[in-house]
Amino acid sequence: MVHIRKVYLTASPHAALLPSPAEMAKFDAATIEGGVSAVDLMEKAGAAVAGLIYELYGAKFGPDHPVTVLCGVGNNGGDGLVAARYLRAHGCHVAVVMTAAAKYSPELTAEVTKYVTLGEEFFMFAEDVRGLDQPGRQLDLKTLRELLRASWMVIDALLGTGQKDAPRGAVKSVVECLNLVRSEKGSALKCVAIDVPTGVDAGSGRVFEPHVQADLTVSIELVKRGLLQYPGREACGEIRVVSADISCSEGAEFSLITRNNAMVKLPPRRLEAHKGDFGRVLVIGGSPGMPGAPAMAALAALRTGAGLVSKVKFGGGLAEASIPELLHEVVPEEFERAAVPRLLQIMRGMSCTVIGPGMGTAAQTKDALAVLFKAIQEENLTVLIDADALNILAELLKEGENIKLSQAILTPHAGEMARLLGADSPAAIQADRYKAARELSHLTDAVVVLKGASSVIYKGKQGFVNLTGNPFMATAGSGDVLSGMIAGFVAQGKSLIEAAACGVFYHGLAGDQAHQKSRGPIIAGDIIAAIPGALAIGML
């Protein structure tokens, strides 16, 4: 297994795929069309889940550590029934609680029949058990609560990847009962979810109420993409993947960035290489209140390996030499419309131009950027647009400007993304980050990097998710460092989407290294200092 920040993938060549629920359903259907019955698929999935649980917790199996499996009436419940059967064979004391339904699928009916013939504890729960004609003992909420209190572990197999809204009916009652028991003082009840915790949207990561808070989520075949976006990620606990031999050769729209991805591999440098082989980066930005932002972006590009990096000095005069390795391009005018011709002349000689760090949103800046964006579009210049330049771009789009930037990378956080898409709030963006990244990319024809925990990258019909990084990177200047790093990778010959993937991956890795060194808060300069070490780790 490959371990990525408490996400354990299988060794499959398709392990990094992050399917939506619809894509996963297609994979299941393709497997069945290939000659594997739905029951056999359920058997493989449940057996794999039970095998992993035995591997992790089997030493405790026995009467003193009873396990309760909560099963719904769909395929997820069928997986739970199979897992319960195999756990019993491993020596686990198992009780199954199944929510009642008027009718079950043939596959689920077959699994119910297999299980009840074992003679193990099998309970049926419904909001109203009167007159219920189902196999197993009828269970009310009081008895369910006592059963859960007596359990050492509960396995959540209530709802699978198809959930789109909050749990209802009997499932809602079971989840509320489980949460009540786990909230009681002294409770150490462990919770393992099969495929996805109940109450979590496997496509977006949205979390409903009530929902299950798992200690471990065992995802079958592949991690579903919603499990990597917050708050869904938080509800999953540790994520481990088990294989059920499901066919997934068709691929998925999104994939996870790992060190094994070819896109983040950096080629070795020739012994006779010179600085011109590694491109030129220009940074346009800065204002009286934020003079350091463009300098941090420029230094990050240098640390990432760009051969030559320049920063624009507006208004003429002698440029400061605080970073001796940094070149300066002097523009006589301030950043206004009159400066655009000179800026374009400089940009034409660059591998990538970063626009926006510390720029401000003054009226003259907006006027200059409106002209500059049109020229960038006409000449197809390679740029990275960040920070205040994104906010100005949002204003221009709102005013009806049709701006297509096919050679651009946009790096908004949720607030900037909300402005770019005209959303009500950042919360609306966070509700489905995949959708937001896709929409902005289609709107502008650019590569989009939606920053934040589990950053999302998207262009065309291809997306990626990054898991490196930590909360201590939420500090002033961190985004400027990312912009410079991405531009540095563009300068070294990476395609725009590869450079974006490299940037977020190594930026997070550098942040992780900086935090490990400080053992506490870090600043943007710490991330820059850690870039060479992160690159060395990433190339192992």
CA distances for 313 relative to 317, 345, 375, angstroms: 8, 15, 21
Rounded distance between C-alpha atoms, residue 533 and residue 506, angstroms? 10
> Looking at the whole model, is its pTM more than 0.75?
yes
- Return the structure tokens found at 200: 């979590």
Q: pLDDT tens digits, the chain, 540 residues: what are they?
A: 555 568 999 988 899 999 999 999 999 999 999 999 999 999 999 999 999 999 999 999 999 999 999 999 999 999 999 999 999 999 999 999 999 887 788 888 889 888 988 877 889 998 654 444 456 678 889 999 999 999 999 999 999 999 999 999 999 999 999 999 999 988 999 999 999 999 999 999 999 999 999 999 999 999 999 999 999 999 999 999 999 999 998 889 999 999 878 788 887 888 999 999 999 999 999 887 888 899 999 999 999 999 999 999 887 665 666 788 999 898 888 899 999 999 999 999 999 999 999 998 899 999 999 999 999 999 999 999 999 999 999 999 999 999 999 999 999 999 999 999 999 999 999 999 999 999 999 999 999 999 999 999 999 899 999 999 999 999 999 999 999 999 999 999 999 999 999 999 999 999 999 999 999 999 999 999 999 999 998 665
331 and 207 in one domain?
A: no
356 and 218 in one domain?
A: no
- Asked if residue 151 belongs to a domain, the reply is yes
- Return the structure tokens found at 275: 């600085």
Number of Cβ within 10 Å of residue 119's Cβ equals 7
Last residue of a domain, one of 227, 248, 269: 248
* End-to-end CA gap in the chain: 17
When divided into structural domains, the chain yields a total of: 2
Rounded distance between C-alpha atoms, residue 351 and residue 374, angstroms? 19
Rounded distance between C-alpha atoms, residue 339 and residue 38, angstroms? 66
**Domain containing 346 — which CATH number?**
3.40.1190.20
- Asked if residue 268 belongs to a domain, the reply is no
- Asked if residue 255 belongs to a domain, the reply is no
Range of the domain at 343: 277-538
296 and 229 in one domain?
A: no
305 and 240 in one domain?
A: no
DSSP letter string, 91-135: T--EEEEEE--S---HHHHHHHHHHHTTT-EEEEE-S--TT---S
Last residue of a domain, one of 228, 248, 268: 248
Cβ atoms of residues 355 and 390 within 8 Å: no
Q: What is the DSSP letter of 209?
A: S
- Asked if residue 186 belongs to a domain, the reply is yes
521 and 464 in one domain?
A: yes
**Domain containing 242 — which CATH number?**
3.40.50.10260
